[in-house]
Amino acid sequence: MKQDQFDVVIVGGAVVGSAVAYFLSALAGPGCRVLLLEQDPSYSRCATARSVASIRHQFSTPENIRLSMFGTQFLREAAERLAVDGERPQLAFREAGYLFLATAAGWPVMQELHALQRAEGAVVALLPPPVLQQRFPWLQVDDLAGGSLGLSGEGWLDAHALMTALRRRAVASGVTAWTARAESLVVADGRVQAVQLADGRRVRCGWVVNAAGTDAPRLAASAGIGLPVEARKRCVFHFSSPAPVQGAPLVIDPTGLYFRPEGQGYLCGIAPPEHEDPPSDDFEVPLGWFEERLWPQLAARVPGFEAARLHSAWAGHYDVNLLDHNAILGPHPALPNLLFANGFSGHGVQQAPGVGRAMAEWVVHGGWRSLDLSALDWRRVLENRPLRERHVV
Ligand SMILES: Cc1cc2nc3c(=O)[nH]c(=O)nc-3n(C[C@H](O)[C@H](O)[C@H](O)COP(=O)(O)OP(=O)(O)OC[C@H]3O[C@@H](n4cnc5c(N)ncnc54)[C@H](O)[C@@H]3O)c2cc1C
């Protein structure tokens, strides 16, 4: 059997795998042979391509805040850092902010999280209803105790462009990219020795990074590891509104509904209740949802959305960490050369730069370096100690 050999094999070439490849190419130098495997060159079904592609600093754990703050810094520098032959990628990063809204019931938690976010350096402000009303005249504030607005660093971008630019820069710096499916991991003597490809090739390796999104549990299982991640369908609806809603940030309603501007219209969505959220691999959109569930809430929060018109919709899949809705990062204690970057549960685009850097630092330095992400490692999973994120969208 023909065998290739690489120092690092990354399985999954969407935004997270491409970020790992980019940071490895920047940190490890040309002596480190890196292979990026992607099974689907169209990227049409991956979460990255179906994301709402937004970034916020308003999380409830220091690790998530720090990861996203690095994400912002990276996005601001990306045109320079990811340029190839002088061509600078256009990531359409728009720092329009997130606005979390709270009723009286949610206000104490919002204040608590605000203190944490400020302590971490996030530029966020708590706004009482009259100030909200003045700043966003289109918003209905009667039932609100206040809102938390990101004033800098939060917003949205073109996730597909980010993924492409990371991969392109990595390949220009010497990373090898193959269109191939990793079928399984070959384990012996407490290490992953090789990656078996579906086309019959076997690639020997020093390290493997599992960046396979919703396919990550299957790959982990081939090495005997149970990764508590499942695919959950999330639908996004694109609508227009004749009424002007000037300067809208990404708004998160107390009901969980979110909306943000996109082009001439808006995107919106809401997570289904838990009992309607089974593991799923289909891409069907329940179109009735817009009329039945979203539109009434949109119109209640923004009276101008009363005349909203649905234009299109799509479905994608979160790779949900069933333990605590947070990423699982770094090596598994049983297989120290298998690094995990999985379970992002809806925030993987914004965390990709921070996670890509962290995985590359693991390979180069053998531990956490720029950010201590040990709170997100396997220990909490194995010891059943959830690090719950309270701001899941
Ligand atoms: C509707 C929706 C909205 C979202 N909104 C946001 C948001 O606003 N902000 C945010 O930060 N995140 C958001 N997310 C989450 C974000 O999109 C994901 O967390 C992130 O894209 C995960 O990236 P990934 O590279 O790990 O996985 P994916 O993008 O799913 O990519 C995995 C890749 O691995 C490849 N692959 C899988 N198995 C193999 C194999 N065996 N061999 C070779 N290749 C393989 C796949 O083909 C795929 O290309 C959203 C997700 C969805 C679905």
Task: State mean pLDDT over 230-249.
Answer: 96
User: Quick one: pLDDT band at residue 393, thresholds 50, 70, 90?
Assistant: confident
95 Cβ contact list (under 8 Å, min separation 6): 72, 152, 153, 154, 155
Ligand 1: which residue has its CA nearest to atom 51?
51
For 318, the token pair is 């979160």
Mean pLDDT over the full length of the chain: 97
Task: State mean pLDDT over 288-315.
Answer: 96
Task: State mean pLDDT over 310-336.
Answer: 97
Q: Is the pLDDT of residue 3 over 70?
A: no
Does the Cβ of 325 fall within 6 Å of ligand 1? Answer: no
pLDDT of residue 244: 83
User: 95 alpha carbon to ligand 1 midpoint, in Å?
Assistant: 22
Does the Cβ of 182 fall within 6 Å of ligand 1? Answer: yes
Q: Is the pLDDT of residue 321 over 90?
A: yes
Does the Cβ of 354 fall within 6 Å of ligand 1? Answer: no
Residue type, 127: L
- Closest atom of ligand 1 to 17 CA is 25
Q: Is the pLDDT of residue 309 over 90?
A: yes
User: Quick one: pLDDT band at residue 64, thresholds 50, 70, 90?
Assistant: very high
User: Distance between CA 58 and CA 358 in Å, rounded?
Assistant: 21
Does the Cβ of 209 fall within 6 Å of ligand 1? Answer: no
Phi then psi for residue 47, to 5 deg, are -60, -35
pLDDT of residue 91: 98
pLDDT of residue 113: 97
Mutate which of 68, 164, 284, 349 for ligand 1? The one with the most ligand atoms within 8 Å of its CB, which is 349
User: 318 alpha carbon to ligand 1 midpoint, in Å?
Assistant: 7
Query: Helix, strand, coil % (nearest 5) of the chain?
Result: 30, 30, 40
Does the Cβ of 211 fall within 6 Å of ligand 1? Answer: yes
8 A C-beta contact, residue 59 and residue 351:
no
Number of H helices, E strands in the chain: 10, 18
Residue type, 246: Q
Q: Is the pLDDT of residue 2 over 80?
A: no
The DSSP secondary-structure symbol of 390 reads S
User: 50 alpha carbon to ligand 1 midpoint, in Å?
Assistant: 8
For 364, the token pair is 């180069």
pLDDT in tens, 178-218: 999 999 999 999 999 999 999 999 999 999 999 999 999 99
- Measured in whole angstroms, how far is the alpha carbon of residue 208 from the centre of its chain? 20
User: 227 alpha carbon to ligand 1 midpoint, in Å?
Assistant: 16
pLDDT in tens, 136-190: 999 999 999 999 999 999 999 999 999 999 999 999 999 999 999 999 999 999 9
User: Distance between CA 13 and CA 248 in Å, rounded?
Assistant: 33
Half-sphere exposure in the Cβ direction for 292 (13 Å, CA): 5
